[in-house]
Amino acid sequence: MADQPRLTHLDETGAARMVDVSAKEVTARSATASGRVLVSPAVIALLRGEGMPKGDALSVARLAGIMGAKQTPQLIPLCHPLMLSSVTVDLALTDESVDIVARVATTERTGVEMEALTAVSVAALTVIDMIKAVDKAAVITDVRVESKSGGRSGDWQR
């Protein structure tokens, strides 16, 4: 039974709990997450030009993603507050989407996958906010962890 997968944020009675990481080693850890905002051709044209009424939408979304990563423990109830060493959020335009990649690093006792996912999600929500006047049908999709490194479970790549 000890080898069976279990939800680490629930105790043996099923009650929610913050995982005790005090016995874990402090190691360098990083995670990369990605996601997309599917948008109309009109939005892509505006983002490639200078027509967005709220200014530089991608810069605003980049900063929002960075801020989101830093706010993860306030947004996700059982996440540990971590000292983040770095957060980068890159946004790229395709003909149909704004693609977002976030990379987060720390030297802590637990990983930063949730911080990377939060960075992508907040950046994507900000893109939606910036473009909603032009494209009410925009869709956030494919938010996922791409890779993680460090810690007892080692490296993982999608």
Active site residues: 129
1 labeled part of a ligand binding site: no
Q: Residue 138's Cα: distance from chain center in Å?
A: 19
93 labeled part of a ligand binding site: no
- 29, 148 Cβ separation under 8 angstroms: yes
- 130, 62 Cβ separation under 8 angstroms: no
Residue type at 87 in one-letter notation: V
50 labeled part of a ligand binding site: no
47 labeled part of a ligand binding site: no
Among residues 113, 93, 110, 111, which one has the least CA distance to residue 102?
Answer: 113
Q: Output the CA torsion 5→68→71→108 (10° steps).
A: 60
9 labeled part of a ligand binding site: no
Binding-site residues: 78-80, 114-115
Binding-site residues for substrate: 78-80, 114-115
